[in-house]
Chains A and B, each alone.
Chain A
Amino acid sequence: MSDHDYRPKSKVGQWFNDRLPLLTLANHLTDYPTPKNLNYWWTFGGILTFCLITQIVTGLTLAMHYIAHADMAFESVEHIMRDVNYGWLIRYIHANGASMFFLAVYIHIFRSLFYGSYKSPREIIWILGIIIYLLMMAAAFMGYVLPWGQMSFWGATVITNLFSAIPLVGEGIVTWLWGGYSVDNPTLTRFFTLHYLIPFLILGLVVLHIWALHVPGNNNPVGIDIKKPSKDTVPFHPYIVIKDGFALLMFMIVFAFFVFYAPNILGHADNYIEANPMVTPAHIVPEWYLLPFYAILRSVPDKLLGVVAMLSAILILAVLPWLDTSKIRSAVFRPLYRQFYWILVADVLILGYVGAMPAEGLYLLIARIATAYYFLHFLVILPVLGFKEKTLPVPLSITEPVLGGSPNLAAARNKESKIE
C-alpha cells in the first residue's frame, strides 16, 4: 500500500487525509495494478461481494417482519409472503440469493484450484477464503431453519445430531446447542441471533481476504509472478471495474431468472409444511450446495467416522497449499494436473447428485467410490504429481510471449485464444 506517494489535490482533501488517510486507501484501490490477462473467471470476487451485500440488505429488511418464535415463525414468514409490501420479492431474493452466493463461491474456489491461486505467497488469502466458506455454510444452514418448516426442523435435528458422534461429551454438547432435549424454541432464537451475526463476521473476513490479496497482488491465468506496475498490469479502475461490472450484470440475469421465474425450484416443498416433531419427512435432503458433503457423510457406515470424513473433506482444503507440491501454479502448464482437475470437478458433481438420491444400492456404491476418489485426489494424486509431472515451459512475463522471443510462443497463443 505504501509503494506510491499520494497527495490529494484539494486543501480540504489534504487536511483530511493527513488525519485519516482514507483518500490514500481509495487511491490505492483505484490504481491497484492488476494483471492485464485476467479472464472472466476472475470476476467472481466482485460478484461475491455483491452477493454478500444483497444478503445483508434483504436480511435486515426481513428481520423487521420476521418473528423468531417456534409458535409464530412459520406464520410470520407466510405473513411476509402475503401481507408485507414486496415481502415476497425480498424473501425470494434472500432465499435464492443464498443459492447464488454458493454458485459464485464454488466457481471462485474452482478457479483457484485451476490456476493454483492458493499457492505461495497466497496461502493466507486461501485460508481466509476457506474460513469464509465455512461461515457461509453455517449461516445458510441456520437461515434455512428460521422459516420453521418440516425441512427446517429436521435439517436442524440431523445437523445438530452430528455433534452427538463425539465420544463422551457429544450428547451434552447437543443438549447445550438445543437449549433443551430436542430442537425447539430456544434453538430457533439462538439460530436467529447467530444467523444475524455471521454475515458481519464474513464482511470483516472479506476485508482481510482483500487486504491479503493486495499484498502480493492477483494471480493470473498464466500463473507467473509479474512486476507491478509494469507492461503486464492495468489499473483496477476503470479496466477491471468495467469487466467486473459486465460480468455482474450477466450474473444478475441468472439471479433474476430464479427470483422471478423459478423462486422455489431450489427449495423443498416440505418446507411449506409447518415443523412437526412427531413426523419426519420421507426424504430429508439438505440444500443443493451442501449435497456433496452430505453424500460423503452417508457413504461411511459408521456414525463417528462419517462425521469425521465429512468435516475432513472441507478442512483438507485448508492445507491444500502444502498438499500440492508443484511449483507451477496454472493448470495451463500442467498437462496431467489439468486432467485430474476435471476428474475432480466431475467427482464433486457426482457426489452432489448421489447426495440427493436415497442412500442405497448403486447410489451408495457410487457415493463410496466418489468419496474415496475425493480424498485420493488431495492426499495422493496432488503430492505425487508435483514430483512426477513434466510441466510445459512457463513464459517469463504476460506480454513477452505475445510480442515474440519466448520459447513457448505456441502455448501462450493457445492460451490467448482460450480467453477470448
Chain B
Amino acid sequence: MSEKKTKRRDFLFTATTAVGAVGAAAVVWPMIDQMNPDASVKALASTEVDVSSLTPGNTLTVLWRGKPVFIRRRTQEEIDEARKVKLEDLIHPEKDEDRAKNPEWLVMLGVCTHLGCVPLNGKGDYNGWFCPCHGSHYDTSGRIRKGPAPWNMEVPKYEFVDANTIKIG
C-alpha cells in the first residue's frame, strides 16, 4: 500500500502515546510522592538535649525523628579500647576519632543497621552494644564487629551549642 500515508499515521500514534505517557506520569507522581515524609514530619528536624546530668559511663537515650539517639559519655577505658582497634579488623572501617570528635562523647542513632531494632547497652562480645533481634555485636565506638548488620551505627549531624547542650540535626 502507500507507505507515505502509513508513516504519517505512525507519527500521530507515537506523538499521542508520548503525550499520554507524560500525562499519566504527571498524575501518578503525586500519588506516589504523597507517601513520602510530609512537611510536619520534616519540621521536626532538630532537637536540643541537656547533657549536664550525664556522668562518665552512662548513656542518655533521646528521641529524634522518631528514632532513639544514644548519647554516651564514655569512660577512659572505653575510649582506649575503641581507639586501639586496627581498621583492618573492622567490617565497616571507620576511625573512632572520626566518629567521636570529642572522645568523651559518643552520639549516634540507636538503631541497628541490620533491620532497625534498638541495640542493648553493655552487652555483646565487644563491651559496646548488642542487638537482640538478630545478634549484631557493636564495640564501644558503635562499630559493627560481628553479626548480620552491614554498617556501623550512624552518627547524626550534631553540635555542642554550649558545654551542657547538644543539638542533634
Complex Cα spacing A166 to B38, Å: 23
Task: Give which listed residue, A157, A190, A278, A358, contacts B115 with CB less than 8 A.
Answer: A157
Chain B residues with Cβ below 8 Å from A298 are 134, 148
* A190→B35 contact, CB < 8 A: yes
Contact with B along A270-297 (1 / 0, CB 8 A): 0000000111111110000000000000
The minimal Cβ–Cβ distance linking A202 to chain B, given in whole angstroms, is 23
Task: Give which listed residue, A158, A283, A303, A359, contacts B150 with CB less than 8 A.
Answer: A303
Complex Cα spacing A118 to B68, Å: 48
B67 part of interface (Cβ distance < 8 Å) = yes
* B68→A277 contact, CB < 8 A: yes
* A180→B63 contact, CB < 8 A: no
* B114→A181 contact, CB < 8 A: no
Q: Which residue of A lies closest to B68 (CB)?
A: A278
Chain A residues with Cβ below 8 Å from B148 are 298, 300-303, 306
Contact with B along A354-385 (1 / 0, CB 8 A): 00001110000000000000000000000000
A183 part of interface (Cβ distance < 8 Å) = yes
* B67→A181 contact, CB < 8 A: yes
Q: In chain B, residues 100-137, which have Cβ atoms closer than 8 Å to a Cβ of chain A?
A: 114-118, 131-135
Complex Cα spacing A280 to B32, Å: 30
Contact with A along B132-166 (1 / 0, CB 8 A): 11110000000000011110000000000000000
Complex Cα spacing A284 to B119, Å: 13
The minimal Cβ–Cβ distance linking B82 to chain A, given in whole angstroms, is 24
Q: A190-B35, A359-B134 are in contact. Are A161 and B115 (CB under 8 A)?
A: yes
* B35→A182 contact, CB < 8 A: no
The minimal Cβ–Cβ distance linking B73 to chain A, given in whole angstroms, is 19
Task: Give which listed residue, A179, A182, A190, A360, contacts B67 with CB less than 8 A.
Answer: A182
Chain B residues with Cβ below 8 Å from A358 are 135
* B35→A176 contact, CB < 8 A: yes
A141 part of interface (Cβ distance < 8 Å) = no
Chain A residues with Cβ below 8 Å from B115 are 157-158, 161-162, 164, 303
Task: Give which listed residue, B32, B65, B133, contacts A181 with CB less than 8 A.
Answer: B65
Chain B residues with Cβ below 8 Å from A301 are 147-148
Can you list 19 A-B pairs, Cβ within 8 angstroms, ordered by A?
A158-B116, A164-B116, A179-B41, A180-B37, A183-B66, A184-B41, A184-B66, A186-B35, A186-B38, A277-B63, A277-B67, A278-B61, A278-B63, A279-B118, A281-B132, A283-B132, A298-B134, A300-B148, A303-B148
Known: A277-B67, A278-B118, A280-B131. 14 other contacts (CB 8 A): A154-B117, A157-B116, A161-B114, A161-B116, A179-B35, A179-B37, A180-B41, A180-B65, A181-B65, A186-B38, A279-B118, A298-B148, A300-B148, A358-B135
What 8 pairs between A and B have smallest CB-CB spacing?
Answer: A182-B66, A181-B65, A161-B115, A161-B116, A280-B117, A280-B118, A158-B115, A157-B116
